[in-house]
Structure 1
Amino acid sequence: MAQSAAPLVQTPPMGWNSWNRYGCRIDEGLIRGVADAMVANGMRDAGYAYVNIDDCWQGERDKDGFIQADPARFPSGIKALADYVHARGLKLGIYSDAGTKTCGGRAGSQGHEFQDATQYARWGVDYLKYDWCNTGAGAAQRNPREAYATMRAALDQAGRPIVFSICEWGDSKPWEWATGIGNLWRTTGDIANCWSCKLGHGSWNSLGVMEILDKQEGLRRYAGPGHWNDPDMLEVGNLSDLNENRSHFAMWTMLAAPLIVGADIAGLKPEITRILTNPRLVAIDQDALGIQGFAWQRGAELEIWARPLSGHRWAIAALNRSSVAQSHVLDWSKEPLGDDLNQTFAKIGEHHFNLIDAWTGKHVGDTQNALPLHVAPRDAQVFILEPKA
């Protein structure tokens, strides 16, 4: 199974998903409009490839058990929609669930995995998000390793390369077992449209951006090309504060996270589009080494994150978690910059680096001098360290 999953998404997948903004309020016109907007606003050319339909697209199964699209919402069918998306240089994603029903109460894939995978391949689907609702409880709950391995086998048999996104919310620690089964796996429950919060939903909670970020601690050893930790979709474009949008995006790129946008693409403000398509931030996320970043220095409110990049480069992000501006002097000579896990060390002093502001592309100094930081509330400054010739 490892060989079938590995060739896909050697860098984290990038795209869009319908759920965060629209929930069940979806139809084929919306999906077509998103594809058109991703071409028009430059997202496709920046690397965003997947247009992913989440829950509530399903209709009934036919007499042979094959799932069909909801005829009212998707009267042209998924095949025609895939053709439309493909014609624009994009890929189509779809959603199902390992239980008897999806989270939205539509038909799940349990007992129909091979039929559903075959149907997706026939339609030209390129990505499957596979959820974990209605899988039983207690001793009667389905085993997640069995459930996801079964769908992995079904996708392999279907014969079409389909990215497999495991969405069981991190409950069974999929990072420990899902390499070779999925291409990405959720590490937490759902993200919420807030900077820092915990929202109750009865039997489960959704978490703010900072809470999701904190839950990535200790997981970086499990991520790499073809198998990614997934801290859930981007709320960039949904958050009300511009600095929060910047920081959210910056930290997901430092995490080597999938960049799956959950906003109204056609209605994006230009400043949000500029965040999402910033070529240097996108390049950090998509770096070929595929090494997830880590918190290098932690203060009470200001955190300095680091991520090794290809070409002996580094990305550095200064994250202000607070609601007031923070100042700090980053003295490169006092804190060795290195990644013990991957045995990668900057050796500043022996080697010198130019500093590039990743947001603007401007040269802002080098590591022979301390870097004064003045970080606005809930903002993130990001720098790329490039070796001097």
Structure 2
Amino acid sequence: MKKSIIALAMTVAAIMPATAQKQEGLVMTPPMGWNSWNKFHTDIDEEKIKGIVDALVETGLRDAGYIYVNLDDAWHGKRDSLGWIQCDPVRFPSGMKALADYVHSKGMKFGVYSDAGEQTCAMYPGSRGHEYQDAIQYAKWGVDYLKFDWFRQDLVGAEGAYTLMRDALYSTGRPIVFSICEWGENGTRKWAPRTGHLWRTGGDIGAYFSESPCHEKPILWCIENNNTYRECAGPNAWNDPDNLEVGNGMSINQDRAHFSLWCMMAAPLILGNDVRNMTPEVLAIVSNREAIAIDQDSLGIQGLRVKNENGLQYWFKPLMNGDWAFCVLNTNKIPAQITLDWSKDFNFTDELSRRSTDFSNITYGIRNIWTGKNDGKTDKARTITVPGEDVVMYRLIR
């Protein structure tokens, strides 16, 4: 029976029209939510996830836009005798459908994780040979988001494997965000934008700012790497430098810098901390509506770095209505005093958006994102101090 179901799935895949595609309009701005991996790894269960859901509501984070609650690796049980994937009956005794219903009842959406290979990173059942079957199961459960990993996948190419899963999701008729997680290692930029709604541009992130003691990538590495994918991003298609590590042990300065650059890069804002136990400072960072608005700007253009010198990075992001976001990232450990002479130093045209700053002819109002104050206008040069491993971030208002 199992063989016949797999054969049926392969037959369905073969007859799917060549025009099968990812579902449109699901994430016209970068998705926002929470994922279990960064903080909990495989230590997840039903009550813990419900606690996270409740905390997202109680802290106001749901209302700030964090609506996807995504289980990463280790929710899986075994496949049944017909090959249908099940959840772990001890960790999730009520089942995935009941958990999805709970998430939905709180006004949020529910996500799960699988792998293109036979096993996940944590050695649970992957989806190879069961793509259509798993997609059907996810749709029955009420899944809204699938993160699809690339561990132990050595039989087919990445594009083919991810296209197969995309088509399987599409065939269910249920809107499911498709998150590609093959780490940018297989010509990702050539095929991922037409295949998934977001795609990882590099390896797993860690809660380290500039240097990492392990395989996990530090924040500055993720920024540098993700910057090379700028032309790939846009509405319903986003570069993913990985989930946020805000609140997982870095300094507040580093957390603020990390969050700011994700907003400047129009990256998905997927929290990776324990939102049940946050300091007020961490909550203030991830709930800053003005920073989030820069990330969620409907123009959908990833920011660009226009200058990188002496440990200081200068970033601009074109926004709707002629506004710009501006951010100075200080990667040094000590504060830096700099002078911003807008018309002298920052007149340029962004070829991707075809927008010009035109500081010589346009005077913008300066809104400080992290102080919540107005800091004058761009018709005059200004001297500012950027704290070590921190940012100054403005919205330049037309």
TM bin (shorter chain): over 0.9
Alignment match, 2:41: 23
Contact 1:100–1:107 (CA under 8 A) maintained in structure 2:
yes
Whole-angstrom distance in 2 between the partners of 1:143 and 1:269:
44
Q: SS state of the match for residue 195, structure 1?
A: coil
Whole-angstrom distance in 2 between the partners of 1:75 and 1:186:
32
CA deviation after TM superposition for structure 1 residue 298, in Å: 1.6
Alignment match, 1:162: 176
**Pair 1:40-2:58 in alignment:** yes
**Pair 1:355-2:373 in alignment:** no
Contact 2:226–2:240 (CA under 8 A) maintained in structure 1:
no
Alignment match, 1:114: 132
Contact 2:21–2:167 (CA under 8 A) maintained in structure 1:
no
Alignment match, 2:8: none
Code of the residue aligned with 2:203 in structure 1: it is: G
CA deviation after TM superposition for structure 1 residue 3, in Å: 5.5
Alignment match, 1:383: 394
Alignment match, 1:317: 327
Q: CA RMSD in A?
A: 1.1
Select 2:101's aligned residue among 66, 69, 83: 83
CA deviation after TM superposition for structure 1 residue 234, in Å: 0.3
What TM-score does the superposition give when structure 2 sets the normalisation length? 0.93
CA deviation after TM superposition for structure 1 residue 206, in Å: 1.8
Alignment match, 1:217: 227
Unaligned runs of at least 5 residues, structure 1: none
Contact 1:236–1:245 (CA under 8 A) maintained in structure 2:
yes
Contact 1:221–1:341 (CA under 8 A) maintained in structure 2:
yes
Q: SS state of the match for residue 96, structure 1?
A: strand
Contact 2:326–2:393 (CA under 8 A) maintained in structure 1:
yes
Higher mean alpha-carbon deviation, 171-180 vs 149-158, is at: 171-180
Alignment match, 1:194: 208
Whole-angstrom distance in 2 between the partners of 1:225 and 1:121:
24
Alignment match, 2:14: none
CA deviation after TM superposition for structure 1 residue 22, in Å: 0.3
Q: Deviation per CA, 1:291-320, whole angstroms, max 9, x where unpaired?
A: 000111222111111100001000000111
Q: SS state of the match for residue 59, structure 1?
A: strand
Alignment match, 2:160: 146
**Pair 1:338-2:352 in alignment:** no
Whole-angstrom distance in 1 between the partners of 2:302 and 2:210:
22
Whole-angstrom distance in 1 between the partners of 2:348 and 2:377:
14
Alignment match, 2:297: 287
Whole-angstrom distance in 2 between the partners of 1:298 and 1:340:
19
Select 1:230's aligned residue among 231, 237, 240: 240
**Pair 1:270-2:284 in alignment:** no
Alignment match, 1:177: 191
Higher mean alpha-carbon deviation, 170-179 vs 50-59, is at: 170-179
Whole-angstrom distance in 2 between the partners of 1:240 and 1:298:
23
Q: SS state of the match for residue 343, structure 2?
A: coil
Select 1:369's aligned residue among 376, 380, 384: 380
Contact 2:246–2:259 (CA under 8 A) maintained in structure 1:
yes
Code of the residue aligned with 1:351 in structure 2: it is: I
Whole-angstrom distance in 2 between the partners of 1:304 and 1:153:
40
Contact 1:5–1:180 (CA under 8 A) maintained in structure 2:
no
CA deviation after TM superposition for structure 1 residue 359, in Å: 1.4
Alignment match, 1:58: 76
- Runs (4+) off by over 3 Å: 1-4
Code of the residue aligned with 2:226 in structure 1: it is: Q
Contact 1:354–1:366 (CA under 8 A) maintained in structure 2:
yes
Whole-angstrom distance in 2 between the partners of 1:296 and 1:2:
38
Contact 2:189–2:232 (CA under 8 A) maintained in structure 1:
yes
Q: Deviation per CA, 1:125-160, whole angstroms, max 9, x where unpaired?
A: 000000000112xxxx42100100000010011111
Q: Deviation per CA, 1:192-238, whole angstroms, max 9, x where unpaired?
A: 111012444xxxx3210001111123211110000000000100011
Count of matched residue pairs: 379
CA change 1:61–1:225 in 2 (3 A) is same
**Pair 1:73-2:91 in alignment:** yes
Whole-angstrom distance in 1 between the partners of 2:245 and 2:330:
18
Code of the residue aligned with 2:196 in structure 1: it is: G
Whole-angstrom distance in 1 between the partners of 2:317 and 2:359:
15
Code of the residue aligned with 1:380 in structure 2: it is: V
Q: SS state of the match for residue 156, structure 2?
A: coil
Higher mean alpha-carbon deviation, 13-22 vs 216-225, is at: 216-225
CA deviation after TM superposition for structure 1 residue 83, in Å: 0.4
Whole-angstrom distance in 2 between the partners of 1:191 and 1:2:
32
Whole-angstrom distance in 2 between the partners of 1:106 and 1:272:
33
Q: Deviation per CA, 1:57-77, whole angstroms, max 9, x where unpaired?
A: 000111111000000100000
Same amino acid, percent of matched pairs: 47
Contact 1:2–1:180 (CA under 8 A) maintained in structure 2:
no
Whole-angstrom distance in 2 between the partners of 1:278 and 1:3:
35
What TM-score does the superposition give when structure 1 sets the normalisation length? 0.96
